[in-house]
């Protein structure tokens, strides 16, 4: 019969003769010894506390793969009774029960946050390859009406994850991250990399992992969803800034079969005058499947790869190249990895090719992977990587596949960290090779901490349907709420075969779906068209004058006009732990109706977006949160928050609202992100509340911004005085504008509506010194 370690022991205070055991004060918290396990409570900051429970005689806990923060000196007060010891920081109060070892975490002032249940912890010894480790379960008690977010990216169509039972294991379209945060202002990261079941019932909320050396979790207090995300970045790493061009529009297809075909796509966009910044080369540029992922170009279809890269650059575009974690036996990579016992022995994509993934957990294997990628591809000068199958694909899955050893233990024990370690290898080695280009990694999966490696995760090979589109909104928000700011999806969905027989891109039903999806993508961190079955280039849908072409062009142009706003928002992500896609609760947590709005989101600080996710929609109900005044982006109509409005939404319109107090820089019309300098920006002010926005600029690429090569210009609007202050410019970089003109406009029903040029109230010349302007 399997033995269980339960919380049945008592703990003795060091100065109390009635107990059999003791606790010990440490520099960052305390350690306590119970009969069957030890407990450590360690503060990493006043807002972050770690709880670690280790079975007696168990193996030591390995260093975290996700957490990089070192504990900082934190002022703590300690109080104790016969049954409880309490540690209090400036933000948190942590109580340890000395009989069962239960932990309760509250705000320092006493408001309850997260409490373990009475039968909180369970360790069950594993057998076989994982012998010496445990199946670990930890349970908590949440308030009955508490709203929680997170768990990575789940395609369940829900924003609030209460009442869910989810097996957290990486799969195509499902990103598994054992983290949730509460609308009460705290988050919990369960630091475990094995498949883990999250379960929430009326009685308890729990994490149960298949393999662990300890129960190890962090509680982070941020006060708001934004605050929790900022604390999680503090714990697991900040997100570097993407190149400016990445925030533009990228085109892809499964797949471009020759280098001529790929370059021709860029040429056609330039000839049409439709903006484009990225072009993606998907799989099989290496030839047949028996040469899968050789990281070299097939001479028959890509005879002059350097010429291809150079041609894309001459057209002022940027090139993604795909790379996979698995290799076919014919490749030199496979042979070297096999000779060094660095392959995982299970089948990955494509079927029938006997392709095996390399051991991403081994730093020596990651170095070998980069050596081939650098020599075969990066030396040609591409701009970004598409790291496909980063979960990875697992074909013909067998239970014994998970028993095999990796550099860090059985595959089962570290399965969910596969994407984290794989992208880490590419990021770290590219940065060590050259910092001339910022690392951009388009990945299909992620884990906690992956944001620090230049990762932008897409939602996987999802189907082409309005039902799937609807699920992308809460999936993206929950992903963002796990601390990962960069997310995107294949515009139109990947699998579009159901529309192919009826005309493909000329099928009106697919055109409607694709256009509505593109409208949504305009307000996501990356705007990228991709899919199989039906080519998605804009000219496949018709020509100017055809509605499916015209609406796409309108929203691609809108994306580029918003680049100064989006780049400034991205800088807040990097510098202040911010997010691009945010739930309404991020800014309106006191408005109960905002907490579970799964069909709307905030884009940065200023925009509220309500994607159209049902076919044939003519009118959409949109909730405008209480606590703010809102402007209809398209008409300038001013509306009071705290109400649901019925917004007409013909095919050319997506419901978008702007918060009063917003300051939105409006960029020039361009064909690519770096075509024009921002020397004549229109600055739209939405009166009705005070507001602030920081215009951020740098060289657009390279990591010199980390060393100070950047500038910030902060705009502040005083609504009572009708006064805009443009503050002194902070910082500088080579090629920066020394003087510029800002065209100032007040938005409203008669001005600044939609994409039409606003009527300028004042044009001011700015030479980096503070200006105060009455409007």
- Give the tens place of pLDDT for each residue, 413-459: 999 999 999 999 999 999 999 999 999 999 999 999 999 999 999 99
Residue 243 in contact with residue 526, Cβ under 8 Å?
no
* Statement to judge: residues 678 and 762 lie in one domain: yes
pLDDT of residue 14: 35
Burial class (CB in 10 A: 0-12, 13-18, 19+), 451: buried
Residue 96 in contact with residue 81, Cβ under 8 Å?
no
pLDDT of residue 146: 98
Whether this model's pTM surpasses 0.85: yes
388 is catalytic: yes
Residue 696 in contact with residue 667, Cβ under 8 Å?
no
Do the domain assignments include residue 426? no
pLDDT (tens digit per residue) in 106-149: 999 999 999 999 888 999 999 999 999 999 999 999 999 999 99
For 84: left if phi > 0, alpha if psi spans -120 to 50, otherwise beta; the answer is: beta
Kindly name the residue from 35, 290, 461, 692 that is annotated as catalytic: 461
Helix, strand, coil share (%) of the chain residues, nearest 5: 25, 30, 45
Residue 456 in contact with residue 526, Cβ under 8 Å?
yes
Say whether pLDDT at 103 is over 80. Answer: yes
* Statement to judge: residues 676 and 767 lie in one domain: yes
Q: What are phi and psi of 399, to 5 degrees?
A: -55, -35
pLDDT (tens digit per residue) in 20-35: 357 999 999 999 999 8
Residue 48 in contact with residue 72, Cβ under 8 Å?
no
Kindly name the residue from 388, 600, 632, 701 that is annotated as catalytic: 388
pLDDT of residue 750: 75
596 is catalytic: no
Residue 663 in contact with residue 684, Cβ under 8 Å?
yes
Retrieve residue 740's tokens. Answer: 């510029």
Say whether pLDDT at 725 is over 90. Answer: yes
pLDDT (tens digit per residue) in 653-702: 999 999 999 999 999 999 999 999 999 999 999 999 999 999 999 999 99
Say whether pLDDT at 41 is over 90. Answer: yes
Say whether pLDDT at 506 is over 60. Answer: yes
What percent of the chain lies above the pLDDT cut of 70?
97
Got the DSSP string for 480-496? HTTT---EE--BT-SB-
Here the CATH number for the domain that contains residue 593 is 2.60.40.1180
CA distances (Å), 130 to each of 58, 169, 362, in order? 12, 18, 19
**Per-residue confidence at 314, pLDDT binned at 50, 70, 90?**
very high
* Statement to judge: residues 651 and 674 lie in one domain: no
* Statement to judge: residues 707 and 740 lie in one domain: yes
pLDDT (tens digit per residue) in 457-503: 999 999 999 999 999 999 999 999 999 999 999 999 999 999 998 88
pLDDT of residue 16: 33
Domain boundary among 636, 659, 682: 659
Do the domain assignments include residue 695? yes
Burial class (CB in 10 A: 0-12, 13-18, 19+), 279: buried
Owning domain of residue 690: 663-774
Q: How far apart are CA 710 and CA 273, in angstroms?
A: 30
The residues, ordered by sequence, that sit 6+ positions from 332 with a Cβ below 8 Å of its Cβ are 294, 372
- What number is the average pLDDT over the span 329-351? 98
Residue 31 in contact with residue 64, Cβ under 8 Å?
no
* Statement to judge: residues 646 and 667 lie in one domain: no
Retrieve residue 329's tokens. Answer: 């036996």
CA distances (Å), 37 to each of 41, 56, 122, 650, 775, in order? 13, 5, 10, 62, 67
698 is catalytic: no
pLDDT of residue 752: 62
Do the domain assignments include residue 359? no
Exposure string over 702-732, b if 16+ CB within 10 A, otherwise e:
bbebeeebbbbbbbbbeeeeeebebbebeee
Rg (CA), the chain: 27
Residue matched to tokens 């104790």: 80
* Statement to judge: residues 640 and 667 lie in one domain: no
* Statement to judge: residues 707 and 646 lie in one domain: no
Residue 534 in contact with residue 510, Cβ under 8 Å?
yes
pLDDT of residue 360: 98
* Omega before 34 within 30 of 0, i.e. cis: no
Do the domain assignments include residue 702? yes
Q: How far apart are CA 283 and CA 293, in angstroms?
A: 8
Q: What are phi and psi of 570, to 5 degrees?
A: -60, -35
Q: How far apart are CA 460 and CA 176, in angstroms?
A: 13
* Statement to judge: residues 672 and 716 lie in one domain: yes
Higher pLDDT, 757 or 210: 210
Do the domain assignments include residue 731? yes
Do the domain assignments include residue 714? yes
Look at strands 487-488 and 455-458 and give their pairing. Answer: parallel
Do the domain assignments include residue 472? no
Strand-pair partners of 629: 640
Do the domain assignments include residue 246? no
pLDDT of residue 13: 30
Residue 601 in contact with residue 584, Cβ under 8 Å?
yes
* Statement to judge: residues 704 and 616 lie in one domain: no
Number of domains making up the chain: 2
* Statement to judge: residues 655 and 721 lie in one domain: no
Burial class (CB in 10 A: 0-12, 13-18, 19+), 255: middle
CA distances (Å), 293 to each of 64, 121, 332, 389, in order? 30, 44, 10, 12
Mind spelling out the 3-state secondary structure of 362-389? CHHHHHHHHHHHHHHCHHHCCCEEEECC
Look at strands 103-107 and 112-125 and give their pairing. Answer: antiparallel
pLDDT of residue 22: 79
Q: What are phi and psi of 259, to 5 degrees?
A: -70, -30
Q: How far apart are CA 369 and CA 382, in angstroms?
A: 17
Kindly name the residue from 191, 391, 512, 698 that is annotated as catalytic: 391
* Statement to judge: residues 648 and 669 lie in one domain: no
- What number is the average pLDDT over the span 545-568? 98
Domain boundary among 635, 659, 683: 659
Residue 696 in contact with residue 712, Cβ under 8 Å?
yes
Nearest residue to 556 via CA among 524, 597, 522, 605: 522
Length of the chain: 775
Residue 717 in contact with residue 690, Cβ under 8 Å?
yes
* Statement to judge: residues 695 and 651 lie in one domain: no
Domain boundary among 643, 659, 675: 659
Supply the angle between the helices 418-433 and 363-376 in degrees, to the nearest 10. Answer: 50
pLDDT (tens digit per residue) in 263-307: 999 999 999 999 999 999 999 999 999 999 999 999 999 999 999
């Amino acid at each position: 019969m399997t033995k269980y370690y339960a919380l049945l022991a008592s703990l003795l205070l060091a100065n109390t003769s009635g107990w059999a055991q003791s606790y010990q004060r440490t520099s960052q918290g305390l350690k306590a010894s119970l009969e069957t396990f030890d407990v450590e409570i360690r503060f990493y900051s006043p807002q972050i506390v770690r709880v670690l429970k280790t079975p007696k005689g168990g193996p030591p806990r390995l260093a975290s793969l996700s957490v990089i923060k070192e504990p900082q000196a934190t002022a703590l007060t300690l109080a104790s009774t016969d049954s409880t010891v309490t540690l209090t920081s400036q933000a948190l109060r942590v109580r340890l029960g000395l009989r069962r070892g239960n932990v309760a975490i509250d705000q320092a002032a006493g408001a309850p946050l997260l409490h373990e249940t009475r039968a909180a912890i369970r360790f069950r010894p594993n057998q076989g390859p994982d012998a010496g480790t445990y199946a670990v379960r930890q349970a908590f008690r949440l308030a009955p009406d508490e709203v929680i977010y997170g768990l990575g990216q789940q395609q369940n169509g829900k924003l609030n994850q209460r009442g869910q039972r989810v097996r957290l294991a990486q799969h195509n379209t499902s990103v598994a991250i054992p983290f949730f945060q509460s609308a009460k202002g705290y988050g919990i990261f369960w630091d475990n990399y094995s498949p883990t079941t999250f379960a929430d019932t009326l009685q308890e909320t729990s994490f149960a992992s298949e393999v662990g050396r300890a129960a190890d979790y962090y509680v982070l207090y941020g006060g708001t969803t934004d605050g929790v995300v900022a604390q999680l970045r503090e714990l697991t790493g900040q997100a570097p800034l993407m190149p400016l061009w990445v925030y533009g529009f990228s085109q892809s297809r499964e797949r471009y079969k020759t280098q001529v075909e790929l370059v021709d796509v860029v040429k056609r966009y330039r000839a049409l005058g439709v903006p484009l910044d990225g072009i993606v080369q998907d799989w099989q540029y290496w030839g047949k499947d028996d040469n899968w992922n050789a990281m070299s170009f097939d001479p028959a279809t890509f005879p002059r790869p350097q010429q291809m890269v150079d041609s894309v650059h001459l057209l002022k575009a940027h090139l993604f190249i795909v790379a996979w974690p698995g290799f076919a036996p014919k490749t030199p990579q496979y042979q070297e990895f096999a000779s060094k016992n660095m392959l995982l022995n299970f089948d990955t994509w494509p079927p029938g090719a006997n392709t095996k993934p390399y051991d991403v957990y081994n730093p020596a294997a990651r170095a070998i992977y980069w050596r081939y990628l650098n020599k075969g591809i990066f030396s040609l000068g591409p701009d970004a990587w598409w790291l496909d199958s980063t979960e990875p694909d697992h074909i013909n899955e067998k239970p014994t596949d998970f028993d095999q050893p990796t550099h860090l233990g059985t595959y089962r024990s570290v399965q969910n960290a596969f994407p984290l370690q794989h992208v880490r290898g590419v990021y770290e080695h590219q940065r060590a090779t050259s910092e001339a280009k910022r690392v951009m990694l388009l990945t299909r999966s992620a884990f906690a901490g992956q944001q620090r490696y230049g990762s932008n995760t897409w939602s996987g090979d999802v189907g082409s349907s309005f039902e799937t589109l609807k699920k992308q909104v809460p999936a993206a928000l929950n992903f963002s709420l796990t601390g990962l700011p960069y997310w995107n999806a294949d515009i139109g969905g990947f699998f579009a075969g159901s529309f192919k027989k009826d005309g493909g891109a000329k099928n009106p039903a697919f055109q409607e779906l694709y256009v509505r999806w593109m409208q949504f993508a305009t307000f996501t961190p990356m705007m990228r068209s991709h899919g199989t079955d039906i080519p998605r280039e804009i000219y496949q849908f018709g020509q100017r004058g055809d509605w499916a072409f015209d609406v796409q062009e309108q929203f691609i142009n809108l994306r580029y006009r918003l680049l100064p706003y989006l780049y400034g928002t991205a800088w807040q992500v990097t510098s202040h732990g911010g997010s691009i896609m945010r739930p309404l609760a991020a800014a309106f947590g006191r408005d109960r109706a905002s907490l579970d709005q799964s069909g709307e989101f905030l884009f940065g600080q200023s925009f509220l977006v309500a994607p159209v996710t049902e076919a044939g929609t003519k009118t959409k109900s949109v909730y405008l949160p209480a606590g703010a005044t809102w402007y209809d982006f398209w008409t300038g109509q001013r509306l009071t928050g705290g109400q649901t409005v019925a917004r007409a939404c013909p095919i050319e319109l997506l419901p978008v609202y702007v918060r009063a107090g917003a300051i939105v820089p409006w960029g020039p019309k361009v064909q690519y992100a770096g075509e024009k300098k921002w020397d004549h920006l229109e600055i739209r002010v939405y009166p009705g509340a005070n507001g602030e926005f920081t215009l951020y600029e740098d060289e657009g690429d390279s990591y010199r911004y980390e060393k100070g090569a950047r500038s910030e210009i902060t705009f502040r609007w005083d609504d009572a005085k009708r006064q805009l202050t443009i503050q002194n410019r902070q910082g500088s970089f080579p090629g920066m504008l020394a003087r510029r003109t800002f065209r100032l406009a007040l938005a409203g029903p008669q001005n600044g509506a939609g994409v039409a040029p606003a009527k300028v109230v004042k044009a001011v010349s700015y030479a980096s010194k503070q200006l105060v302007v009455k409007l």
